[in-house]
Structure 1
């Protein structure tokens, strides 16, 4: 069985959906919130280059949950 590696994660209180500039990606924010509430997709895959906000979105999801 393949080994599962833990994700290094440090909770940051200052990274929320309110602090994220979504621009044209507002649909992503809505989809993430619906997923957390149990009303949307069960899994969402995000891909972007480094520095584009993926970690910020993960932090935001933790706050929202």
Structure 2
């Protein structure tokens, strides 16, 4: 399933099959992480985060995750 170029702003923008696909993909990535299979699915992409309120803890944890 190709979701390239789409943003996840609301679940209402996706079909049930697309949501199932996203959940299954998340499950696969989590299993790979637990099995120490290090993949970089976001390699080469530019990511951005917007926060409504200042929070050092949130900012730092997000930077580490990205």
TM score, norm. by length of structure 2: 0.27
Greater relative CO, 1 or 2 (CA 8 Å, sep 6+):
1
Question: Radius of gyration: which is bigger?
Answer: 2
